[in-house]
């Protein structure tokens, strides 16, 4: 249960960081 929770949080953080990086790069490429 703890391992599953850790995996879920890690995956959420990874997606959030990746999404933020893509968004920042996308905005910089436009401006």
Q: Alpha-carbon distance 8 to 3, whole Å?
A: 9
Q: Please write the tens of the pLDDT for every residue from 1-31.
A: 688 888 899 999 999 999 998 888 888 887 7
Extract the tokens encoding 20: 């933020």
Rounded to two decimals, what is the model's pTM? 0.48
pLDDT averaged over every residue in the chain? 87
Amino acid 13: pLDDT: 92
């Amino acid at each position: 249960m703890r391992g599953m929770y850790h995996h879920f949080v890690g995956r959420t953080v990874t997606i959030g960081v990746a999404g933020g990086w893509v968004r920042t790069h996308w905005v910089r490429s436009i401006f």
